Chain A
């Protein structure tokens, strides 16, 4: 199939799992750790106290800020503590620690009769997204209601992103295959909420079963099209996807809304459809658990707050992992503890053996082979970015558009010299951000005096 964006790679990795069967519903553990930050924006404030009894689906955290997301109890039980706990994004974060009573007593709101999806107005849909605490479940974690309310009337095309962001992940694949109707309904709700014309569901062509299921669900809906895209990382990247589907490039520093597109993860869309119908908030999600040392790698449906160790134990590990990732192999974060909980944005858990984790050759100097330049989907010159970041030359990094880097990791993946390119660029961006903030402060300080 023809290539729809510049560069990219196709890593030959296999997660050794199938999504023939629907994702297994992992029983909720005894203790759940629900971080108060699972989204972009302000941290949620706890709405419960230690010792409170909570019900399944009850709102237990929220904030007043414009950009934030509500957090709900994934089980019924008692609040045991509100304290720091591991977070898959690294370090610790305040979390509500729930003790599961095993009864899953639902909140009153969930007992109301189901709503008719066709009767909902745009505002009601956005409110449903806000009430259900839905965020971008592909990993970005941007609150859906904020995304929607900010782009009403500006959107021509709603794109449902079914291109699994990374190799080895199959969480969205499972959703599309087994809940294709919900995905399509969710997409149509999004389309109505932002008053868009068309709905495109984009899927990579290595998932023919998902494409078939979606096409069946979308049959007879002329405004919905299912598009198969070549399997090539990072096809699921927001800007890359817009480029591939609409042949338009999102300008630097802008959102896809700038070119009339709204991108939403397929799992988020399916969750929205469910939230609109039954008011069930985002309290569980599909998580791919993969790695060569697992006896039964699979996609699990787990409650938010379940520790990674519980998911891993279910997949019959043959030995403890040497490296544990939250997310995919290209952009995932390495974890220091098995006890980090599943959050709204954890799409996969990868376990790596000693050999896989240590599969690195010694670094050499850059030999200027040009692979990073050839493969960069954002048309950067990582080779020169590397050169100037070694020199600490921030103005030059800025001139070479380091801000455009989407941190896909392709440069580091393809570097024969094994240079930690992405790590250097992250540092460069960080330093540049610091410098800009300092300059802004100086400017403001100057005005005041």
Chain B
């Protein structure tokens, strides 16, 4: 047998053993006589490890679905805040992808830009900027998010905190003034919004609530409706609660995210706002403003659900969502700032490994052995 194995492929051209009974085949036969080293590779049978089927899912498809889900909110941002919003989004996406490509080039890695994860980081980073922020901000934020937070830790899947959120926090702490220069929505996509005295009069509903006043809403029609469509002050992508929820539901229907994180997150915030109303509002109004007045919808559906920085199992995801919710409530209520979504998600990012370990599935068969 060993001898036969050693002969593998070395006896090319020997006739195979399909001889007639009349002319008895020369036996013993070499099982490898019909294989030769000369056989071109593409004529040999391909041997791989099982399984031989694949669901067809790819990283790029999943990331692409997230981008699709973000698109309506992005278009709405342009409508609400003028085409300066589009400039922010494009700059952030291009620089995120560019920085990732650059890093891969410098490290001589295969270029991973086309898995589209950098594009998502770009969109989310832009969504977290006020529209009046200077145009270099998305570029600097992208550099920090991609180069420092994502690529230095090993690229896709290796960063332990959400790059877009760290980018936002980096900008907010370095150029605090620019990051809170809220403008009124212009409701005209063909406007180049700039920081003018008039525009600056905008403020976020959460900020108003914090100072004890019921928020005003902008534009026409009813106040609550304006909150839903996003006609209020805030970061350019966070204001349109309706479309963000629609995008989140789309991701759930498509099986990209599970309901556990958004439900845990939003549920917790809603519960606490109901029990302890803010700013002298009625409990229901307090819930409404807490959910739609800040970055909660963007955070709960698109930032906290980032695969890389959220737990693996559904049970852990629920705990993670509840944790995000509790921290958001505490920061909004007791912290110096009006908004706490970014920091709550970043803090919960740090306990993901702990949550994963604490919720490891029980061992199959453990029930029976007890």
Q: Chain A residues in contact with chain B, CB under 8 A?
A: 9, 11, 13, 30-31, 80-81, 83-86, 91-94, 97, 99, 101, 167, 239, 248-252, 254, 258-259, 320-325, 329-339, 350, 352, 357-361, 364-371, 373-374, 378-381, 383-384, 400-401, 404, 407, 409-410, 412-418, 420, 422-423, 426
CB-CB under 8 A for A339 and B46, given A94-B1, A359-B54: no
Is A329's CB under 8 angstroms from B52's CB? yes
User: How long is the Cα–Cα vector from A423 to B5 in the complex, in angstroms?
Assistant: 24
B64-92 contacts to A, CB under 8 A, are none
Q: A86 vs B8: C-alpha distance in the bound complex, in angstroms? A: 12
Closest to B368 in A: A249
A251 to B314, CA, bound (A): 24
Q: Which of B121-129, B155-163, B236-244, B274-282 contacts A (4 or more CB under 8 A)?
A: B155-163
Interfacial chain B residues near A258, Cβ < 8 Å? 368
Stretch from B22-30, B140-148, B335-343 contacting the other chain? B22-30
> Is B334 an interface residue, CB under 8 A from the partner?
no
Count, A-B residue pairs, CB within 8 A: 208
The interface size bin for chain B is 35 or more
Q: Chain B residues near A407: list those with CB within 8 A.
A: 50
Q: State in angstroms the CA–CA spacing of A334 and B365 once bound together.
A: 31
Contact B62 A369 (CB under 8 A): yes
* Known A-B contacts A85-B31, A322-B46, A416-B61; A99 and B364 likewise in contact (beta carbons under 8 Å): no
A-B CB proximity, top 5 nearest: A409-B51, A365-B157, A83-B28, A416-B57, A251-B365
Cβ proximity bits B17-47 to A, threshold 8 Å, 1 near / 0 not: 1101100110111011011000000111111
Q: Which residues of B contact A335 (CB under 8 A)?
A: 45, 47
Instruction: Kindly state whether residue B174 has any CB partner on chain A within 8 Å.
Output: no
**A369: contacting residue among B50, B307, B366, B368, CB under 8 A:** B307
Main secondary structure of the interface of B (DSSP, over half): loop
Q: Is the CB of A81 within 8 A of B157?
A: no
Query: Beyond A361-B58, A404-B365: 8 further Cβ-contacts under 8 Å?
Result: A84-B1, A99-B21, A249-B365, A334-B50, A369-B307, A370-B313, A401-B363, A417-B157
CA–CA, A380 and B363, complex, Å:
8
Contacting pair A334 B55 (CB below 8 A): no
Interface class of chain A by DSSP = loop
Which residues from chain B contact A322 at a C-beta distance below 8 Å?
Answer: 42, 45-46
A334-B1 contact, Cβ under 8 Å, with A81-B28, A368-B312, A370-B313: no
Q: Is the CB of A360 within 8 A of B54?
A: yes
Distance in Å from the Cβ of B291 to the closest Cβ of chain A?
A: 26
Q: Is the CB of B307 within 8 A of A368?
A: yes
Closest to A354 in B: B42
Of B28, B49, B314, B361, the residue contacting A426 (CB under 8 A) is B49
- Chain A CB count within 10 A is highest, among B18, B27, B115, B356, for B27
29 pairs of residues in contact across A and B, judged by CB atoms under 8 Å: A31-B25, A83-B4, A83-B28, A84-B31, A85-B29, A249-B365, A250-B368, A252-B363, A258-B368, A325-B52, A329-B52, A329-B53, A333-B50, A334-B46, A335-B45, A336-B35, A337-B45, A367-B156, A370-B311, A370-B314, A373-B361, A379-B363, A381-B313, A381-B356, A381-B360, A401-B363, A416-B58, A417-B59, A418-B58
Contacts of B45 in A (CB 8 A): 321-324, 334-338
Q: Are A413 and B55 in contact (CB under 8 A)?
A: yes
Kindly list chain B residues whose C-beta atoms are within 8 Å of the C-beta of A11.
53, 55
Q: CA A367 – CA B312 in complex, angstroms?
A: 10
Task: Provide the bound-state CA to CA distance between A321 and B46, in Å.
Answer: 9
Asked whether B27 lies within 8 Å of A249 as measured between CB atoms, the reply is no
Smallest beta-carbon distance A261→chain B, Å: 11
Taking CB atoms, residues of chain B closer than 8 Å to A81 are: 27-29
A401 nearest in chain B by CB position: B363
Cβ B157 vs Cβ A413 within 8 A: no
Min C-beta distance of B244 to chain A, whole Å: 21
**Chain A neighbourhood of B115, CB < 8 A:** 364
Whether the Cβ atoms of A412 and B51 lie closer than 8 Å is yes
Whether the Cβ atoms of B307 and A323 lie closer than 8 Å is no
Contacts of B156 in A (CB 8 A): 364-365, 367
